[in-house]
Structure 1
């Protein structure tokens, strides 16, 4: 049973996928949080650093993007198309590339290329040969192609139709780029519905939303007969559970520390008096849970895992199992192995914001991201306006939350959407917000 929860909001949208009662996927999209990964821009070169072999590129956001030059010859003032490879982190701007990809559900278009690539997850030789043959025919149109994992189960005509649709969409973007003034956004990979139905949703048994007012936007994506209304409290509870610092599994404690440079998982047996063989079983279960948390929290960069100490043969076996687990990840990754200190080291590409940064401005002090805070305020109004027949609400909040509210005219949007008045005031002693 595959259940999909789609939770819309003024400042934050969420998607949750449950398969047979277990969380399989979570995606959070903030209105004002610099999530640019996959976006395509007409950009302008601001500065070229020959020593670093890098260029600083203006894509129209509050900081320059960074691009490795390679063999590319460019000068200040040059304008061309770039795509964001990874989002900004800390003081660093996003990383961009001039090698563009245009994603579809079952394949990816490669403008400017004439190559055929096939997902490594497709292992059946017959399927690979079939897709190679089809790809060789399609690239004659002047575009390269990557067949995604899902392409293996699709009919030839379905893939050809999708390929043609992607070309039409891409040609429109190219035409738009001719007249657009740099810097400007040409393709928003993070458009919420387009993203989740292209990248995350492949099939479903039922879809839950919290109100029928959202049906119009979903018509082109889902079978409305499978649509149901739900309070979506499960989404909020799931986010809270996933972001806990400590997780307990069969008496074993898993502690997570996410800092800018790396993330470390610490597996602790507590007072458990198990043998080394039992430690392997515990570590194996912990490894599965850790992989789940890495995926759901969207952790990228360097990852260290301090497992319970084991014999050499068990460590070798656990490494192989962990590598197999990581093969199921859609995000590029590499498991390096055990360090001299006995800690497992891995790397996962940074794709979009970490979940903790979408929910908190300061995770350890529990200071909410303003987008998340306004989503909570909106949800409270939605739940209580009709229940208690209220037509006005008053909130005091931190300056950061109030600033975002003013910037996006949040009070006006609440009025238009829910037909109630909201008055939001700043208070210096409030860490997040409270209703009064």
Structure 2
């Protein structure tokens, strides 16, 4: 299996697609101005205690206060609280953590009102983004995640991933990490560290220590609260950190700045793979070029087809996600039981992909087509378990119930990805009134004339629906050629699959969006 990452950086948002054998399996999208909040570390004040829940609410600057349960404070909360006061007591000289005294662990049967006070400052990390009406979820157990290691301030042991089976390798890694870990730090050794040399692990240890030092220096120098003292890396780099593996053949980026950041990160974690990061310079939109746009439009929405007329219906509710499997117009000449099995096995393949693609979390209930044979039900369960092995999120799958339902729980860290694949009417744009479509090219020419002769933009790219682009480019003396003769050779027409039939977008030579919409467009 080969994997490719496609990163589409637009002026307002960044989208990342992971392809496995050219098939879209993961998709992330976030606004440019938004930060990837999971992993961010704050020094913030306790706003309200909730003794009934044994928890508190903390103001970290979000619209809704963040939730922190007593059991999430962490065993070393007292050590953190004391060290925080020591750091803030001297604004000139930083008190090193290696000299900090470790206090007894927090009692697990304690209460929040005996531990915290309203207005008290705490150092917390976001572990779950705001979802629906809920604010972020916090923890007091701070950690800095790297490719091979996870550094835990005030930790007291070195743990090795249970997925590393070899006892000899586990012992080697534990002994090696213990020899390079500073005092008052703990470390978790990740699975990908298996077989790595001491130089690679030591280099990452220094990077993670530097992140901690920079974070604590921000605490020392400023008094504003809440204060973001460590910001998780951008979505592109953060996704690569968790996903990167040797099967990656290419990472394509259409933005120079992000391409440089990704190449720098890959050169740190896998120097031999730095060459796979490539800057995409094609004129066609990057997602169109790699067939991502079409897969997004066909993979999201309420109904998802997966072959031979079969389809899934996916509904999202506040409490759970519900999936119904339908055989549709499948007419293969097989016994009913065999048809049901084939339909269900195909649904299991597509559902495993959909869970990763949409990042669906919480409880998922799947209504498969009823099967009478116990061995068929067991085969379906095993197929689902096998398909979910590629999923990084923690999950649990139960065998089919007597009603033919499969229950799945999947770790929920952020809201489920939902892409609206429905488009406004391509002729009236939702207004209910249309103008003659034969005049559309005249409207575009007026825009070009204004752009060239009034705004002064000589080189630009006009993105239109592929059918419209074909019409503009047809013939020896095409409409595009006429525009170039009249307004200069800087006129470029680009087909874009994401646009509706009579939609258009202008971009300058640096691929920056130019807003050419006017009130008189409606007249």
TM-score with structure 1 length normalisation? 0.78
Displacement of 1:55: 0.6
- Aligned match of 1:323 in 382, 385, 410? 385
Deviation per CA, 1:320-351: give whole Å up to 9, x if none. 44234334321122224444533111111112
1:337 and 1:346 in contact (8 A); partners too: no
Displacement of 1:190 in angstroms is 5.2
Aligned to 1:262: 320
1:179–1:336 distance in 2 versus 1, CA, 3 Å: farther
Deviation readout 1:103-137 (Å, 9 max, x if unpaired): 11122112221233333433344433333333443
In the alignment, the residues of structure 2 paired with residue 346 and residue 183 of structure 1 have an alpha-carbon distance, to the nearest angstrom, of 37
Residue 210, structure 1, aligned to residue 254, structure 2: yes
Residue number in structure 1 paired with 2:201:
159
Distance 1:89 1:435, change over 3 A: farther
**Structure 1 residues 350 and 425, CA gap change in structure 2 (3 angstroms):** farther
2:427 counterpart of 1:384: no
Question: What 5-or-longer segments of structure 2 have no aligned partner?
Answer: 72-109, 267-273, 426-458, 465-479, 484-489, 493-505
Shift in Å, 1:68 = 1.0
In the alignment, does 2:407 pair up with 1:314?
A: no
1:133 to 154, 170, 175: 175
Higher-Rg structure is 2
- Aligned-partner SS, 1:205: strand
Q: Secondary structure in 2 aligned to 1:229?
A: coil
Deviates more, 1:214-223 or 1:254-263: 214-223
Structure 1, 299-308 or 116-125: larger mean CA deviation? 116-125
User: In structure 2, which of residues 211, 215, 231 is the aligned counterpart of residue 173 of structure 1?
Assistant: 215
1:284 aligns with 2:345: yes
Task: Report matched runs for 1:7-26 at 5 Å.
Answer: 7-26=8-27
Higher strand share: 1
Contact 1:35/1:353 (<8 A) preserved: no
Residue number in structure 1 paired with 2:69: 68
Whole-angstrom distance in 2 between the partners of 1:385 and 1:291: 35
2:469 corresponds to: none
Q: Structure 1 residue 237: deviation in Å?
A: 2.7
1:60 offset after TM fit, Å? 0.8
Q: CA deviation at 1:313?
A: 3.3
> Quick check: 2:46–2:119 contact (8 Å CA) kept in 1?
yes
Residue 17 (structure 1) shift: 2.4
Q: Indicate the residue corresponding to 1:403 in structure 2.
A: none
Moved more, 43-52 or 245-254: 245-254
Provide the C-alpha distance between the structure 2 equivalents of 1:57 and 1:131, rounded to a whole number of angstroms: 38
Count of residue pairs brought into register by the alignment: 392
Counterpart pick for 2:296 among 228, 232, 239: 239
Change in 2 beyond 3 A, CA 1:342/1:19: closer
CA distance in 2, matches of 1:11, 1:420: 10
Give the whole-Å Cα distance in 2 for the aligned partners of 1:422 and 1:112. Answer: 52
CA RMSD of aligned residues (A): 3.5
Decide whether aligned partners of structure 1 residues 247 and 132 sit closer, same or farther in structure 2, where only a CA change above 3 A counts: same
Question: CA offset at residue 33 of structure 1?
Answer: 5.9
Q: Tell me how far apart the structure 2 counterparts of residues 10 and 23 of structure 1 sit (CA, whole Å).
A: 23
Match of 2:243 among 200, 212, 222: 200
- CA 1:85–1:416 in 2, change beyond 3 Å: closer, same or farther? farther
1:383–1:152 CA distance, 2 compared to 1 (3 A): farther
Q: From the superposition, tell whether residues 274 and 159 of structure 1 become closer, same or farther in structure 2 (CA, over 3 Å).
A: farther
Q: 1:212 to 1:37 in 2, by over 3 A?
A: closer
* Equivalent residues of 2:19, 2:26 under 8 A apart: yes
Residue range with higher mean Cα deviation, 81-90 or 42-51:
81-90
* SS of equivalent to 1:355: coil
2:216 counterpart SS class: helix
Report if aligned partners of 2:124, 2:140 keep a CA contact under 8 Å in 1: yes
**Unpaired runs of at least 5, structure 1:** 368-380, 392-410, 428-433
Q: Is the CA contact (8 Å cut-off) linking 1:7 and 1:13 kept in structure 2?
A: yes
Q: For the residues of structure 2 that align with 1:34 and 1:221, how far apart are their CA atoms? A: 18
| 1:128 counterpart SS class | helix
Inter-partner Cα distance in structure 2 for 1:151 and 1:299 = 29
Which position in structure 2 is the counterpart of 1:431? Answer: none
Query: 1:384: Cα distance to partner?
Result: 1.5
After superposition, the Cα gap between the structure-2 partners of 1:226 and 1:59, relative to the gap in structure 1 and judged at 3 Å, is closer
